[in-house]
């Protein structure tokens, strides 16, 4: 029986050109080999499975090759390359810092550095997972790393660059490896499948690539696992069944149900997802990813961000055309909030269902809004056409009467200033006018609640007189002034109510004034003058400092712009109400003898 070699080892790159997804780094290393400008130490950092250790081995093999190819790759024919391929090279030493992290291990390595290479130019030390070295080991390694012999090269590899001490980082050329894109992983998996005579659906390879999270080693391990499960025919269904992945068909169907407002199928589908053993948060994360894919599919410029197969991209484009951008953004916000609240929820199943139904209701509301806008367009046309109504058709509604007035010529018995003109333009601005109709006495003004819209009239230039313009502006100024002035009547109870509310609102910011307002005696004088009676001048001065805010508040709350306040000092009321906490407590004991008995019985003393 032949010994089986996993794909991650069997198809491990052996040249710079065969490294997948790290073109910038491999090209830089080849240029360094070409020019002979090799650093004394390299640090390869990045996520797992992206080629750090592989590139370190390729670099070590290439710089010791005795017969480089024209594109500066190792020849695989010289003595050094053959020794490396057989893992028998004495010039390339690999050290796993995870298991050899003590200071004694580093001292032993430093002792080996003193011995020059027997074959080749350089002695290369590859230290993997270098962040696992202890602090003492790092310190023991510093001097050698800074001033190594000319023939010694160090290549450090780590997944956690942040754990490397700055003194080590400053002595190395740092190369940051990136995650491999889904497209590059799929292309490499297709190459492996073809080499192994395996038939694989593109969608199946895309799922494996997405599951690997940018790590080629993980993708090849998953590929081997799926081949063991499916045999030589790798299908999309077998992959999602074996890896326990939600099929994207679920998300396409769910969005269609939400667009149709089909709450029944929404609940049945999510229930089947839970019955299949999927976590609710797993579904929410997938739903967010699906909505994002729909969002970027709406614009051809962003469609390239969608790393899916061509057939799947077409499905995303078709469904994205049915959704508005605002709907997708609002849905993403709802599901994102659901994802945040998921861990704290006691009823996770219900939380996911509510999020789905809210999105369905969101689309329904959007459709109703569009319908309302469409219905409002004929209504607006009808209002514009109402300018042709005959003067003999007298409207009964005051607002319609106002419109009628500015759409017709004035009657012969009205003043010359009002004898204007036919309506030519309808605007939404509010312009106060003095309106006179056949059903309204002359001189009567329309009050503000009756004005739902106003109409600006345009006249023929031959009918405009300078004197009329002056009178019109003067009349409008007077009317505006009358409309702004408010004269609502009010009672003492209303004043006290608003003062108490104001005192509560400022209690934290100005406790002293709030207490003064509570104990003040309030009277109304001459209808619009409110008197505040205080026990002494200090209280009155405190009140006067904030009187402007109190006047403004009372005018707004009581709808009367003529309100004013006065302060009256009356020493006879000094003890009429308790002011301090001690006085309040004394009054409480006087009104409640049981409280006084309890205080004396327990021998309590009040502290304020």
Q: What is the pLDDT of residue 116?
A: 85
Q: What pTM value is reported for the model?
A: 0.53
Q: What is the pLDDT of residue 375?
A: 59
Q: What is the pLDDT of residue 371?
A: 61
Q: In whole angstroms, what is the distance from residue 565 CA to residue 532 CA?
A: 7
Helix (H) or strand (E) segment spanning residue 80: helix 79-85
CB 92 within 8 A of CB 60: yes
Q: In whole angstroms, what is the distance from residue 265 CA to residue 274 CA?
A: 14
Q: What is the pLDDT of residue 441?
A: 43
In a 13 Å sphere around the CA of 355, the CA atoms on its Cβ side amount to 30
Q: For residue 375, what are its two tokens?
A: 């219905």
Q: What is the pLDDT of residue 451?
A: 36
Q: In whole angstroms, what is the distance from residue 89 CA to residue 62 CA?
A: 13
Beta bridge partners of 234: 200
Q: In whole angstroms, what is the distance from residue 399 CA to residue 405 CA?
A: 10
- The residue to which tokens 């799947």 are assigned: 312
Q: In whole angstroms, what is the distance from residue 130 CA to residue 43 CA?
A: 9
Q: In whole angstroms, what is the distance from residue 201 CA to residue 189 CA?
A: 11
Q: What is the pLDDT of residue 450?
A: 40
Q: For residue 358, what are its two tokens?
A: 């809210």
Q: For residue 162, what are its two tokens?
A: 């942040």
The DSSP result for 457-474, as a single string, is ----GGG--HHHHHHHHH
Q: For residue 570, what are its two tokens?
A: 């009356």
Hey, which bits of 227-278 come out as E strands? 233-234
| Residues near 553 by beta carbon (within 8 Å), at least 6 away in sequence | 498, 502
Q: What is the pLDDT of residue 99?
A: 87
Q: What is the pLDDT of residue 423?
A: 34
- DSSP SS3 for 368: helix
Give, to the nearest 10 degrees, the angle between helix 182-195 and helix 216-230: 40
Q: In whole angstroms, what is the distance from residue 570 CA to residue 540 CA?
A: 10
Residues of the chain with pLDDT under 50: 1, 379, 381, 385-467, 469, 472-473, 476-483, 575
CB 97 within 8 A of CB 134: no
Tell me the helix, strand and coil percentages in the chain, rounded to 5. Answer: 55, 10, 35
CB 124 within 8 A of CB 155: yes
Q: What is the pLDDT of residue 247?
A: 78
């Amino acid at each position: 029986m032949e010994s089986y070699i996993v794909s991650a080892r069997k198809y491990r790159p052996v040249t710079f050109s065969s490294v997948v997804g790290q073109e910038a780094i491999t090209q830089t290393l080849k240029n360094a080999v070409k020019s002979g400008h090799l650093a004394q130490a390299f640090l390869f950092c990045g996520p797992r499975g992206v080629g750090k250790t592989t590139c370190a081995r390729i670099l070590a093999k290439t710089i010791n090759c005795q017969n480089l190819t024209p594109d500066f790759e190792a020849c695989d024919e010289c003595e050094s390359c053959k020794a490396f391929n057989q893992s028998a090279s004495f010039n390339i030493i690999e050290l796993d810092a995870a298991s050899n992290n003590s200071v004694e291990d580093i001292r032993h390595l430093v002792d080996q550095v003193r011995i020059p290479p027997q074959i080749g130019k350089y002695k290369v030390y590859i230290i993997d997972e270098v962040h696992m070295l202890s602090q003492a080991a790092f310190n023991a390694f510093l001097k050698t790393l800074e001033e190594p012999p000319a023939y010694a090269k160090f290549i450090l590899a780590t997944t956690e660059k942040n754990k490397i001490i700055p003194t080590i980082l400053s002595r190395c050329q740092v190369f940051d490896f990136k995650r491999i894109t889904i497209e590059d992983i799929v292309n490499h998996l297709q190459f492996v499948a073809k080499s192994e005579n395996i038939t694989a659906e593109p969608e199946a390879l895309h799922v494996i690539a997405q599951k690997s999270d940018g790590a080629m080693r993980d993708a090849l391990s998953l590929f081997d696992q799926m081949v063991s499960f499916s045999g030589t025919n790798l299908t999309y269904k077998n992959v999602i069944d074996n890896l326990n992945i939600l099929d994207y068909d679920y998300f396409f169907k769910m969005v269609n149900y939400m667009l149709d407002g089909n709450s029944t199928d929404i609940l049945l589908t999510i229930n089947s997802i839970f019955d299949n053993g999927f976590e609710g948060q797993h579904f929410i994360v997938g739903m967010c990813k699906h909505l994002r894919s729909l969002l970027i599919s709406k614009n051809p410029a962003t469609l390239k961000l969608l790393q899916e197969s061509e057939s799947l991209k077409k499905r995303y484009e078709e469904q994205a055309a049915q959704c508005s951008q605002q709907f997708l953004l609002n849905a993403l916000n709802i599901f994102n909030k659901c994802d945040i609240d998921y861990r704290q929820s006691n009823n996770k199943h219900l939380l996911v269902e509510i999020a789905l139904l809210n999105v369905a209701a969101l689309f329904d509301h959007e459709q109703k809004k569009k319908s309302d806008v469409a219905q409002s367009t004929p209504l607006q046309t009808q209002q514009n056409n109402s300018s042709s109504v005959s003067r003999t058709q007298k409207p009964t509604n005051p607002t319609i009467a106002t419109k009628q007035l500015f759409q017709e010529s004035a009657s012969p018995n009205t003043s010359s200033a009002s004898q204007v003109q036919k309506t030519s333009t309808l605007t939404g601005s509010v312009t106060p006018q003095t309106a006179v109709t056949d059903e309204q006495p002359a001189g009567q003004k329309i009050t503000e609640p009756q004005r739902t819209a106003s109409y600006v009239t345009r006249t023929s230039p031959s009918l405009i007189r300078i004197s009329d313009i002056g009178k019109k502006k003067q009349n409008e100024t007077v009317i505006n002034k009358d409309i702004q002035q408010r004269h609502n009547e009010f009672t003492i109870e209303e004043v006290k109510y608003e003062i108490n509310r104001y005192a509560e609102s400022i209690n934290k910011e100005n406790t002293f004034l709030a207490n003064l307002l509570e104990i003040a005696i309030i009277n109304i004088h001459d209808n619009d003058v409110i008197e505040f009676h205080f026990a002494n001048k200090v209280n009155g001065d405190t009140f006067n400092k904030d009187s402007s805010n109190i006047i403004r508040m009372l005018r707004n709350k009581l709808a009367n712009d003529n309100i004013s306040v006065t302060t009256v000092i009356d020493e006879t009321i000094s003890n009429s109400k308790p002011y301090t906490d001690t006085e309040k407590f004394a009054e409480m004991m006087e009104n409640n003898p049981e409280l006084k008995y309890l205080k004396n019985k327990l021998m309590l003393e009040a502290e304020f």
